[in-house]
Amino acid sequence: MPKSCRYIPTCSEYSMIAYKKYGVVKGTVLTAWRLCRCNPLGNVVPSLAL
């Protein structure tokens, strides 16, 4: 499958970093927020570094 994520790090990498750095609660919130933006109609502004 071709790489299609427009973000660096990818959403899955971002999620792993968020969970390791902030724990389950905040990691889940950050991941959900990222996934809401990760679609063709989403904002093209990259996420801030964790």
- For residue range 5-31, what is the model confidence (pLDDT) as tens digits? 777 888 899 999 999 999 999 999 999
Domain locations along the chain: 1-38
Residue 1: its pLDDT value, please? 45
Of 50, 24, 33, whose CA–CA distance to 42 is shortest?
Answer: 33
Q: Hey, what are 31's tokens?
A: 């991941």
Distance between CA atoms of residues 15 and 9, nearest Å? 9
43/26: higher pLDDT? 26
Residue 48: its pLDDT value, please? 57
> What value does the mean pLDDT take over residues 34-50?
67
Q: Is the pTM of this model over 0.85?
A: no
